[in-house]
Amino acid sequence: MYSHLSNLRIVEGGSFIAAPICGLYLSQLGAKVIRFDQIGGGPDFGRWPKNERGHSLYWEGLNKGKKSIALDLRKPEGRELAVRLATAPGRGNGIFLTNYPVNGFLSHDNLVRRRPDQITVRVMGWADGGTALDYTINAAVGVPQMTGQPDDPRPVNHVLPAWDLLTGSLAALSLLAAERRRTETGAGEEVRVPLSDVAISTLGNLGQIAEVVTGGADRPRVGNDLFGAFGRDFETADGKRVMLVAITSRQWSGLLTALGIANDIAAIEADRSVSFANDEGIRYEHRDAINPIVERVVSGLSLVELGSALDNEGACWAPYRTLRQAVSEDPALVADNPLFSEIVHPSGSRYPTPGYAATIIGAARGDVEPAPSLGAHTEEVLTDVLGCSAREIAFLHDRGIVASAHTERGR
């Protein structure tokens, strides 16, 4: 992890993807992130994928480098500890990241009573507090209806939880903006980041709401074609599939040269009285003529021949791979990528594990830290953040209000 945010401590009470990945990004930038969970694990503690011993690879991927404290949140005393953690005194404290309900015991109003300059960043489903997940929001805003082959009317859910990921990163951005303002003005605030608003505003930012409002009709499903430019999947002579794209003029000219199709394309341009060179939209309008020419040439070349021709001309392309192939066959992605370190996780499994996605030139990346075992830092957090004595901690253990990693393992 980098050290940029090392004077911030963020308390995270959240589960699944959006809130935890927000905490992960901040942790990878150096913030101390303390995640509290129900004793025995929150609702995401067993989420698939799991390894052969039944440990969640998902949980340990999303909680790397955090500290873990296990509380009984069903007991008033456990809830009181969560509130005290979220609102701990000190300059870098008083920052709470959560997906708990707006009006529960972790409401911003409750926290502000303890700490007037409290910052609360709350990930939500629907903006009105209604239950939603990435998959239901995606259905509600129309993306599955745009996705997939036009010869198959079924909606296609995305497998990448894009709205969760974007919500998590915007929550982190919002958190830093709020903390910056608190440093300047002394004032805290609550920021709410609903999946529903992230999704619908994104479609607005991409011009798609304008498109349906001004045009009236939904964009027809176009399969694997890239809307508004040249781009599609094609199959090579050896049965591999590649994604070819040409949005810029340079990508287009590179593609024509690499495939040796400049004359065929010029003939279409002459025939149809158009020019493809500087307007990618016209390439899209005439894809019925362009695609078959590309298809013919690609189908006559092996993947290696095609790739070498495309790379020589700086064309924009990639082979389709499975994730396993991507990990094992392209060293640039994982094996030789300085983002990744092979470390052992609480699951007992050892595998390549990424640090922060961006690279800060000249700054030390630091080690990639594994996720904690559940409750691994219960004593440490109670001592360091809340100033509890050994006797108080023993009392909390005896009453079952907290649990340590040792206790958790014995469950």
- Residue ranges in 316-335 that form contacts with a copy of itself under rule CB under 8 A: 316-327, 330, 332-334
Q: What is the smallest separation between the CB atom of 24 and a copy of itself, expressed in angstroms?
A: 6
Pick the binder of a copy of itself from 77, 117, 197, 305 (CB under 8 A). Answer: 197
Nearest Cα residue to 164 out of 54, 56, 66, 44: 44
Return d(Cα 356, Cα 363) in angstroms, integer: 12
Q: Which is nearer to a copy of itself, 34 or 124 (CB)?
A: 124
37, 44, 72, 164: which one is catalytic? Answer: 164
User: Residue 143, interface with a copy of itself (CB under 8 A)?
Assistant: yes
Any catalytic annotation for residue 336? no
User: Binding to a copy of itself (CB under 8 A): which residues in 25-64?
Assistant: 25, 29, 43, 46-52, 56-62, 64
CA neighbours within 13 Å on the CB side: how many for 317?
Answer: 30
CA neighbours within 13 Å on the CB side: how many for 175?
Answer: 31
User: Residue 339, interface with a copy of itself (CB under 8 A)?
Assistant: yes
Q: Which is nearer to a copy of itself, 99 or 378 (CB)?
A: 99
Q: Which is nearer to a copy of itself, 241 or 397 (CB)?
A: 241
Pick the binder of a copy of itself from 266, 277, 344, 360 (CB under 8 A). Answer: 360
Pick the binder of a copy of itself from 243, 274, 297, 393 (CB under 8 A). Answer: 243
Return d(Cα 391, Cα 240) in angstroms, integer: 65
User: Residue 132, interface with a copy of itself (CB under 8 A)?
Assistant: yes
User: Residue 340, interface with a copy of itself (CB under 8 A)?
Assistant: yes
User: Residue 149, interface with a copy of itself (CB under 8 A)?
Assistant: yes
Pick the binder of a copy of itself from 117, 189, 380, 384 (CB under 8 A). Answer: 189
Pick the binder of a copy of itself from 75, 114, 165, 384 (CB under 8 A). Answer: 165
Nearest Cα residue to 37 out of 405, 410, 368: 405
Return d(Cα 244, Cα 250) in angstroms, integer: 14
151 class by beta-carbon count within 10 Å (0-12 exposed, 13-18 middle, 19+ buried): exposed
Question: Which window, 76-84, 178-186, 261-269, 290-298, contacts a copy of itself (CB under 8 A)?
Answer: 178-186
Structure tokens at 91: 């300059």
User: Residue 10, interface with a copy of itself (CB under 8 A)?
Assistant: no
Structure tokens at 41: 């694990």
Return d(Cα 354, Cα 383) in angstroms, integer: 31
Query: Hey, which residues are catalytic here?
Result: 164
